């Protein structure tokens, strides 16, 4: 918008030899500059996409952003079967250790540890698990033991569980590479166990 002290007849565009007063020209130019700037912004936002353009429109009146939605969390996970108990190792059934022996039942984390000092007596199977990968923290460890009769038939299982509680848990002292473990022979199997196998279905070491 502009105003002019001159009569309207002298300010409007004319045919032929048209002359515009300087302040009119300046005002028009300012207007065109503004239009150009606005056009640029519109084009720029077109490149960002329709959604962004809508947001830009909302920049005049601050847009209402979406509140965090619980619906964003997917709780329906296809194909998941809820576990009914503690984990096992399928390899226990395929292992048939000779009497007096403690075998290693294969599991998902075998490249992260070694087993040593494996021993079996009438009441326990035990040994030392030495972690060979990262050990900034040993959060979870489960050693699953299978107990076998003299013919190498699986009679039952037992477990050793290391669980860092998260209180003063793991970040106490320097991390340990070695975790001694002992798994008692179940009462009902006492006297029948002649061999064992141990494996690791759960291991979380940072």
- Tell me which of 1, 8, 61, 67 binds other proteins, using CB under 8 A: 67
Residues with Cβ within 8 Å of 142's Cβ and at least 6 positions away in sequence, in order, are: 86, 87, 159, 160, 161, 162, 200, 201, 202, 203
Rg over alpha carbons for the chain, rounded to the nearest Å, is 39
Residues linked to residue 58 through DSSP beta bridges, in sequence order = none
Q: Which stretch binds other proteins (CB under 8 A): 24-32, 95-103, 146-154, 182-190?
A: 24-32
Nearest to 199 by CA among 95, 80, 122, 71: 95
* Residue 69 in the binding site for other proteins (CB under 8 A): yes
- Under rule CB under 8 A, how many of the chain's residues touch other proteins? 77
Q: Which of the residues 72 through 101 are near other proteins (CB under 8 A)? A: 72-75, 77-80, 82-84, 86-87
> For other proteins, which is the closer residue by CB, 1 or 67?
67
Q: Which of the residues 163 through 202 are near other proteins (CB under 8 A)? A: 163-164, 166, 169, 171-175, 201-202
Q: Which stretch binds other proteins (CB under 8 A): 48-56, 90-98, 122-130, 182-190?
A: 48-56
> For other proteins, which is the closer residue by CB, 5 or 22?
22
Tell me the two tokens of residue 47: 């490149």
Contact criterion met (CB below 8 Å) for 109 and 100 = no
Q: Which stretch binds other proteins (CB under 8 A): 90-98, 103-111, 115-123, 145-153?
A: 103-111
The interaxial angle of helices 50-57 and 22-48, nearest 10 deg, is 130
Nearest to 96 by CA among 200, 197, 199, 186: 197
Q: Which of the residues 137 through 156 are near other proteins (CB under 8 A)? A: 137, 139-140, 142
Q: Which stretch binds other proteins (CB under 8 A): 116-124, 135-143, 145-153, 180-188?
A: 135-143
> For other proteins, which is the closer residue by CB, 43 or 188?
43
Q: How many Å apart are CA 171 and CA 177, to the nearest integer?
A: 14
Stated length of the chain: 206
* Residue 8 in the binding site for other proteins (CB under 8 A): no
Q: How many Å apart are CA 146 and CA 125, to the nearest integer?
A: 9
> For other proteins, which is the closer residue by CB, 68 or 191?
68
Q: Which stretch binds other proteins (CB under 8 A): 45-53, 116-124, 149-157, 188-196?
A: 45-53
């Amino acid at each position: 918008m502009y105003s002019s002290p001159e009569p309207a007849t002298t300010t409007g565009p004319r045919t032929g030899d048209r002359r515009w007063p300087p302040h009119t020209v300046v005002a028009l130019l300012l207007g065109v500059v503004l239009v150009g700037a606005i056009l640029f912004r519109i084009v720029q936002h077109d490149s960002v996409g329709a959604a962004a353009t809508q947001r830009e429109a909302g920049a005049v009146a601050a847009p209402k952003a979406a509140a965090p939605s619980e619906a964003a969390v997917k709780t329906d996970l296809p194909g998941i079967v809820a576990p009914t108990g503690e984990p096992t190792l399928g390899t226990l059934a395929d292992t048939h250790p000779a009497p007096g022996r403690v075998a290693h039942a294969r599991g998902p984390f075998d490249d992260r540890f070694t087993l040593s000092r494996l021993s079996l007596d009438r009441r326990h199977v035990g040994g030392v698990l030495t972690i060979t990968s990262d050990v900034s923290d040993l959060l979870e460890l489960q050693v699953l033991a299978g107990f076998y009769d003299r013919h190498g038939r699986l009679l039952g299982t037992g477990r050793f569980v290391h669980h860092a509680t998260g209180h003063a848990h793991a970040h106490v002292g320097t991390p340990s590479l070695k975790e001694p473990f002992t798994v008692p022979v179940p009462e009902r199997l006492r006297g029948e166990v002649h061999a064992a196998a141990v494996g690791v279905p759960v291991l979380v070491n940072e």
